[in-house]
Amino acid sequence: MGTAIWGPRRDGDGWRAALWAPEARDVRLVTSEGRHPMTRDADGWWDAPVPGSCYRLDVDGQVMPDPASRLQDGGVDAPSIPACAVTPPAWSGRDWAEAVIYELNLGCFTPEGTLQAAASRLEGLAQLGFTAIQLMPIGQFPGDRGWGYDGVLPFALHPAYGGPQDLADFIARAHDAGLMVILDLVMNHFGPEGAWLHHAAPPFFDAARQTPWGAAIDFSRPEVRGFWTQCAMHWLRDAGFDGLRLDAVHQITGPGAQDFLTDLAREVAGLTPPRHLITEDDRNLPALREAGYDASWNDDFHHAVHCALTGEDDGYYASFAVDPVGDLALALERGHVEQGQPRPGLDHPRGADCSHLPPTGFVNAIQTHDQIGNRAQGDRLITLADPHGVRVAYGLLLVAPFIPMVFMGEERGETAPFQYFADYSGDLAQAIRTGRAREFAGIAASDGPGPDPMDPATFAASRLGWADDADARSWMNLTRRALAFRSALVVPLLRSGRPETRVSRDGPGLIRAEWRFPAGGLAISLAFGQPDPAPLPRPDLRVGQAGSDYLLTVKARP
Cβ-based burial of 198 (10 A; exposed 0-12, middle 13-18, buried ≥19)? middle
Catalytic residue check, 514:
no
Q: Is 303 annotated as a binding residue?
A: yes
**Residues 293 and 363: beta-carbon distance below 8 Å:** no
* Whole-angstrom distance, CA of residue 102 vs CA of residue 363: 11
Asked whether the beta carbons of 501 and 517 are under 8 A apart, the reply is no
Q: How far is residue 401 from each of residues 7, 117, 227, 517, measured CA to CA in Å?
A: 43, 33, 36, 10
411 is catalytic: no
- Angstrom distance (rounded) from CA 25 to CA 48: 16
DSSP string, 263-302: HHHHHHHTSSS--EEEE--TT--SHHHHTT--EEE-HHHH
Nearest to 462 by CA among 100, 106, 75: 106
CA distance 277 to 193: 28
For the CA atoms of 98, 100, 106, 111, what is the dihedral angle to 10 degrees? -120
143: three-class secondary structure by DSSP? coil
Distance CA 402, CA 410 (A): 18
Helix H, strand E, coil C: the string for 91-103 is CCCCCHHHCCEEE
Q: Is 541 annotated as ligand-binding?
A: no
To the question of whether residue 265 is assigned a binding role by annotation, the answer is no
Catalytic residue (one of 166, 218, 242, 280): 280
Q: Note every long-range contact of 422-426, with CB atoms under 8 Å and residues 24 or more positions apart, other chains counting.
A: 422/143, 422/145, 422/146, 422/147, 422/150, 422/453, 422/454, 423/142, 423/143, 423/144, 423/145, 423/146, 423/454, 424/142, 424/143, 424/193, 424/454, 425/454
The alpha carbon torsion through 541, 545, 549, 554 (nearest 10 deg) reads 10
DSSP character at residue 60: T
- Is 300 one of the annotated binding-site residues? yes
**Category of 542 on φ-ψ map: left (φ > 0), alpha (ψ -120 to 50) or beta:** beta
The answer on whether 373 is annotated among ligand-binding residues is yes
**Angle between helical axes of 387-399 and 470-485 (0-180°, round to 10):** 30
Query: Does residue 247 have a known ligand-binding role?
Result: yes
Residue 134 assigned to a binding site: no
Q: Tell me: is residue 364 an annotated ligand-binding position.
A: no
In the set 247, 281, 312, 532, the catalytic residue is: 247
DSSP 171-218: HHHHHHTT-EEEEEE--S---SSS-THHHH-GGGEEEEEEETTEEEE-
**Of the candidates 163, 182, 179, which has an alpha carbon nearest to the alpha carbon of residue 243?**
182
Q: According to the annotation, is 245 in a ligand binding site?
A: yes
Cβ contacts of 13 within 8 Å, gap of 6 or more:
none
* Phi, psi of 465, deg, nearest 5: -90, -20
According to the annotation, is 372 in a ligand binding site?
A: yes
Distance CA 326, CA 520 (A): 26
The response to whether 370 counts as a known ligand-binding position is: yes
302 labeled binding residue? yes
Cα 47 from Cα 41, distance rounded (Å): 9
Residues that constitute the known binding site for substrate: 245-250, 299-303, 369-374
Q: Which residues are catalytic?
A: 247, 280
Residues that constitute the known binding site: 245-250, 299-303, 369-374
